Each structure stands twice: as structure tokens, then as C-alpha cells.
Structure 1
């Protein structure tokens, strides 16, 4: 069942868009509270589900996805702030802020030692949420500054990027996902007045803009640089179909990452790059509207619900940043259509995750699962739609 929501920012001639009711179902807080109550002791975090029953698989905190579940709890706190707690939305069953704080504690030891490389940006997400709620939180300030320092230490000025995966020199690997980790540098710069952190973030984005994007607007997943000369030595995929194909989740990270960089810097080239990546993404979705795990893989190809929800958030951010009404409309409508189609396919009330049909790593046959990041961006997209006046809490 769907709710038709008129878009106040659109011209009168534009038809209303369809927002899935499931975004605001009382099952959302019920499932997320159940997952919190199931967290192991010592804390482990859900990353993806099994393929048959949809049960969460839990992992050590020293994992790139560990920040997403605590961030989902914070997102429900935001939802309660936006909507209140009613019998219909089910948001009154927990103190989401306190649960978010409790679930984040196991991340604190990672501030000084972890093996996540560039993904410390993802680990910082719940602390960024905490800082928005409580700007005086010493826990959040320390975490953000610590994770930003770890990321900044991975920057190589000769290459012009922060290093993603570790490999012996002279191999310096950079993945498109890293565009989503740059934000922590800017949060820390705001806290410390260390403008070098902003410079590092912008230089990484500039270098990626030059080397990581194909002429048609698709992206490579992995670039290899020479540590000592900065020369590009290889362009390939690790999770896509082929080195020449476009892995959809990587493309989604790029859309959202460059839109975020435009928001943080106002640099028009970042906005133009986000639009270019978004156009490729939207132009290559099959006729059924379902985002595949790789746009160039042969059929039949599994979906990736996480790529859809990540891209939807990037598109909603672009819509908010745009000043041209027709482009606001284009990106918001496209986001809602992505959410509509993936909800029709992947909303699964019997699973512990909110969505099924995620592709964690198709080459490793880890697909048709729920994903913690796909669920986080599903909840976040609902919040964004409400904040933008594109959906109602009811």
C-alpha cells in the first residue's frame, strides 16, 4: 500500500509522486528495537542477514559497517523529534537517543586502534549524530577528532588521496566508497579550526573527480596509484562484474559523496560531478525500476537494495541543494521512485532486517540478504522526505 504525497516544490502540472507507506510503518521501530535487544554481550553489530530466514549475522566492532546500527537508532530519535510518538508510528516504545548512545560505546576503543583504514568515516557517523543533539558532548568531540586524525594520516600529497585499503608500497589503492568518509574531516575541522583537514578532503575529492570517473559518468571501483609518483597504475573492480563495469553501490557512494562535498564547500564542480553520476545511475536502471548490483552485469542479475537507498539519499540531498525548480523536482521524484520500487521488491515483514535483496558482495556470492547500511539509509530517507515536506509522518 502506498501513500500519494503531493510535492509542494513542484510546478502544478507535475503529477504527485508515490511514497511507500512502509517507510513509516510501526514495524520499523519494532524491528530495530528487537535488534538492539539481541545485540550480543560483549557488543557485536549486525552487518547482513542470512539468505533464507533473514536473521542478522553479527560481527566484531572492528568492522567497516559497525557505525550504521547505532546511527539507525539516532535516526529513529530524529524521526520521533519530527513526528512525535503515536500509537500508529510506534516510536514511543524506546528512548532512541539513549539506545543510540549505548550502542555506540563499543566503537570508542576503535578511536585509537582499528583495521578499517579509510572507513573510520563510517565509524564516526553515530558520534556526528550525537554532536548534533549535544554540541557539548566530549565523547562525540573526541571520537570525531580521533577518527579524522586517523583518516588524515592516510593522506599522501603526491597521490592526492587518502589511502583506502592497505597494500605494500608502491601500490596505493583508493576506492570510490572513500568519498563517503571525507565528511569526518570537515566535522573535525569545524571543531578544531584545522583547515588542513578541509584541504585534504577537497584534494581527495578533486583527484577522484579526475581519475575515478569514466567519460560516460560511470565509475571504477578501485584505482591503483604509485605511492611515490602519484601515477595511476590500474583501474579495476573488486565487487563489481568486471573492471570495465559500474558497480551500483559504488556509483551511489559517489553521488552521495559529491553531493555532500558540495554541501560542505559550495564548490560547483562537486555539484556537477554528483549530477553527472546521478544521471548515469538513473539512465542505467532497467525498465523494472530495480537497481541491479552492477549496471553492466549480464541478466539475470540480483538487485542491491542498499545501492537504491544510498542513491535515494544522495538524490534527496541534491534536491535540497538545487536552486532550479525543475532539477529539485527531477532528483526528489527520482529518489521517491527508487524507494517505491525497492520497497515493492524488498520490504519483508518476516525478516529481522527492514529490507531484503541486498547484495553485499556478488563475486563472493553474498547476495539476497538484508544489510544494516541499506536499512539505515531507508530510515534516513524517510526522515529526509518528512523534513523536505515531501511526506507526512502519518
Structure 2
């Protein structure tokens, strides 16, 4: 009898183990890659955003009844490390798709990996136009509004300024080069009378602000385009304020209105810059209110733009997986092309022609309030209103 009980107990143990393994096999795994150790000001809120999304998705029943699991890796800001991480996620972890990346050169590296290995990749943050156009491929989609889209939004306001002599300051890598090129192109089309009198290309993360500010001042522009961000932006603003670079000059600036970049400036925040950003404190829509309430309840903190990007990246990935009803790459691509979904900024669509989402951005001006930098006079610009025509995109994007 005792032997029989041992046998039955062992059988039940094996059955339970089998059921556990079966349940585990039902999970849908997404691979996520980002520059957590290099750019924590953006990526930590980004991580909080996607973790909130995972929690909400699983609380609502997962993806077609299956639990969503995100496996995250740090690329350290190095394209080669990002490709290594991507390979580990696909070959060892068996993820259904790849998501994430921040820096444009890293986004392009993972996109190239996805194209070679035939893996679905949802790029969260990289802004270079090459991701969806000149180096676009059938496996890569992008969430955030691109350099072209944000430049077009900024040019709409910048072209109305009387300034004719312009200088540019941008980090010397893919993102900065792409942003300057497209801004100059779109601005010159609207204002053929503009002169570009100086360009400064400091290395990303290593700006020597003194010589940069001095060189721009010597060129004596009437307006400046800034593309620096993070610690480089703080150094540029501090040095520019000290030397009076911004006094009497218009400044147009990518990303500066995002809390992760505006907050560190504190009472040094320059006033009146035309910027893209995220004034979370002044957005009054049901979609954003719901996100804000959930985020603050979970983290007891206000969101940054990274929070929105992380949250919507995983929400978009889940919507694509649910529509596909499969983890097969070709079915994921078919499901993603043309898919529409809600977001904290309203409904967005991933365009079939170039795999770019229509998520927009806020444009406004910098100001100070209670010793802090804020965005004022902000309005939301729908991404769909700032994209080129299908005919133009076909010229820009290679055939798959």
C-alpha cells in the first residue's frame, strides 16, 4: 500500500510538473532592449511605463488569454551589444518579437538584425528617418514621431520668425545629423531667404560647451536650432546663459520640452524657446487622464515622455499580437500594417506604406514657474498631419 501511495504521489508530481511547463509554454514573450545604464533619465521612466502596460494587459486577461512576459536587456549604448542582446533574446529566450532602443544608431543596428534574422521589431524611441525610410525594412515598425515629423511641426512655427541667419548645434551621430538635415530642408523650402551661417557638431554626451557657444556667437546668427539633449543640453544652456548667447536670439529646439530634459535645467531654463515636449500637467483629455491616474497610483510620481513611450510600445505590441492571433512573424507584420489603437494621446495608426505610427507630439514654448522649467502655450500635433505623401515615401523607402 505504501509503495502504491508513493507511486501515485510521484505520478501526481509529474502531472503537476507537466501542467506547470504547459502553462509556462502558454506565455507570450517579448524581448526589450534599451540604453538603461547610459541614459537613465529617459529609460527609467520608460521602464516604468512598459511595466505598467504589462500589468494592465495581464490584469485584463493577457493576450488572447495568454500571459505577456517582457524580457529586458541593457545595450549600454553600444550597437554591437544591442545586436548581441537581440540575438540572445531570439535564440535563447524564444521571444515573439523585439521592442525598444533609444539611440538612433542602435535602433538601426537592431533593425538590421531583425531584417537579417526575419524577426519582428517595434522600435520605440529612435528618431532617425532612416529607420522607416532609407534603411527601412518589412520587419521594422516605429512608434515615436520621427525627425521629419518633429521638424515639420517645429518649422511650422519657426518659419514665421523674422530671423534669416541661422546656426545649428547638434550631437555628431545619426540622430543629430538626421534632425539637422531634415529641419534645414523643410525650413529652406518654406523660407528660401534663410542663410545657414554655422554648424556645430559636438560628440554625443561629451560636449565642450564653451568653444561651441563661442563659435556660434562669432557667427552672429539671429536664430539657433538646437538638437542636444540630456546632460549636453544642461551644459549648453548654462554656458549659453553665462555668455549671453541666447539673449535677443530665437531658439528652436528638438525634445527640450520633455520633462526628463527640462527638469534638470531648473531655474536656468531659458524662456521662449520653441520646443517639442510633453506638458503632462496641462493635457486634459480622457485618454491621458486615465494614463496619468494609473501611473501616479503605481509610482507616486509624475510621468515623463519616456513613460508614455514605454507604455505605448508594449500596448502596441500587445495589440499587434492579439490581432495576429499568432507569434508567426509574417502574421505579425500583416497584423501591424494599418492597425489602429488607442494611446494616451488619442488614436494612432501604424501606416502600411512605411510602418511609421501616427503618434504625435506637443509643440510649445519654454518658461519658468516656481523655479522650474515648464512648457507653455502647448498644442498637440497629430503625427498624420506631418508626414509626406505616399508618393514621396515610395521614393524614400527601398522596396522589400
TM over 0.5: no
- The structure in which a higher percent of residues are strand is 2
Larger Rg: 2
Q: TM-score range by the shorter chain?
A: under 0.3
